[in-house]
């Protein structure tokens, strides 16, 4: 299977390491032989239609900070040029999420789909701003569009709701969809101020380069859009979410929750309305998880409420979700 990798940060590097370490196993078990034919990052690109050396890609990125030094002939082909001129079966889009206009991810995805390529995205921007139209474009071009790594990293939240609860009608859901804010609020419950808890999270590398994505609830809101569209069949985008972040949460708010035998969490919920805001959760509630964990509770018509808890983001966790999507695509292609 010929793959173009868009972006070569932590997630994409974790993915090629996974391909490398599991190549025999993937072929023996699933008949999957991933062949990376092109990679581009913000500074350049590397192309080889017979397949790039995965270990050399990682070494080049480590040494030069870009993949363009992969070969002696420095490749300056842009991402769009590569998508238009290099033959591939799947585009894996891992560039940073942008919630203003979703670029450059949006153009990468639409270009690939129009060319008949299947797409796997862990970039939430295009889905948050244009989920319904992207699904229509995928259907129109008869390609598969997968995005399990956009919600919950390595925890199969989307998969669980769609497949494990098949035949059930999910009536509502609520959860902690951002591990960074959960980590900050957990630390505040031990007496740290918001500023100290934020600094600790930044020192550990949990906070996005643009901190407003975490602190103002944008990341959680984007995930809520994806869940509402995919699971509830809604047609919503980011502006439909009523969103409040955690910047105004004080130690007093934390203590007030404590008095009510509760904890304060940033909760994304889909009931009659779509809301992201800090909320008191009873200490015994399964959603009261600590640290960087994510948790989501689905309430369905007949089987009551089911809660799924797991790690949120992380290079290896997100790479494993991309691999799951790739195996799904491989299976569908084999069927047809």
Catalytic residues: 223
Please tell me the number of Cα atoms within 13 Å of 55 on its side-chain side: 3
Residues in Cβ contact with 16 at an 8 Å cutoff, skipping those fewer than 6 apart: 5, 36, 54, 57, 58
**271 near 172, Cβ under 8 Å?**
yes
Residues in the chain: 336
CA distances (Å), origin 68, targets 88, 124, 125 = 19, 26, 26
Strands (E), 52-94: 90-93
Listed in sequence order, the residues at least 6 apart from 204 whose beta carbon sits closer than 8 Å to its beta carbon are 183
For 218, the enclosing helix (H) or strand (E) is: helix 218-232
CA distance 150 to 321: 9
26 near 112, Cβ under 8 Å?
no
Q: In what order do the strands lie in the sheet with 274-282?
A: 242-243, 274-282, 262-270, 170-176, 293-300, 304-311
Q: Which of 44, 66, 60, 49 is nearest to 4 (CA)?
A: 49
Query: The tokens of 215 are what?
Result: 């602190």
């Amino acid at each position: 299977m010929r793959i173009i990798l868009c972006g070569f940060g932590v997630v994409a590097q974790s993915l090629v390491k996974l391909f490398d370490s599991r190549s025999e196993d993937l072929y023996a078990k699933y008949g999957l032989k991933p062949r990376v034919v092109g990679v581009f990052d913000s500074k350049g690109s590397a192309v080889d239609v017979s397949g790039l050396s995965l270990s050399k890609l990682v070494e080049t990125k480590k040494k030069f900070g870009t993949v363009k030094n992969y070969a002696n002939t420095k490749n300056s082909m842009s991402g769009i040029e590569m998508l238009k001129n290099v033959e591939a079966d799947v585009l894996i889009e891992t560039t940073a999420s942008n919630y203003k206009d979703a670029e450059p991810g949006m153009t990468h995805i639409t270009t690939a789909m129009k060319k008949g390529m299947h797409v796997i995205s862990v970039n939430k921007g295009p889905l948050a701003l244009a989920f319904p139209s992207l699904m229509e474009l995928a259907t129109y071009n008869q390609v598969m569009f997968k995005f399990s790594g956009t919600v919950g990293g390595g925890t199969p939240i989307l998969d669980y709701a769609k497949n494990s609860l098949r035949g059930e009608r999910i009536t509502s859901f609520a959860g902690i969809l951002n591990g960074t804010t959960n980590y900050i609020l957990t630390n505040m419950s031990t007496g740290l101020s918001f500023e100290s808890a934020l600094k600790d999270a930044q020192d550990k590398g949990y906070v996005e380069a643009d901190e407003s994505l975490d602190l103002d609830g944008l990341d959680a809101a984007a995930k809520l859009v994806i869940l509402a569209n995919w699971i509830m069949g809604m047609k919503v985008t980011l502006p439909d979410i009523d969103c409040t972040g955690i910047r105004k949460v004080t130690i007093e708010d934390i203590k007030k929750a404590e008095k009510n035998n509760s904890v304060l969490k940033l909760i994304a919920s889909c009931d009659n309305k779509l809301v992201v805001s800090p909320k008191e959760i009873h200490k015994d509630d399964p959603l009261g998880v600590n640290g960087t964990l994510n948790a989501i509770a689905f309430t369905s018509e007949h089987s009551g409420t089911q809660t799924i808890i797991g790690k949120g983001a992380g290079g290896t966790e997100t790479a494993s979700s991309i691999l799951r999507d790739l195996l799904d695509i491989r299976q569908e292609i084999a069927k047809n």
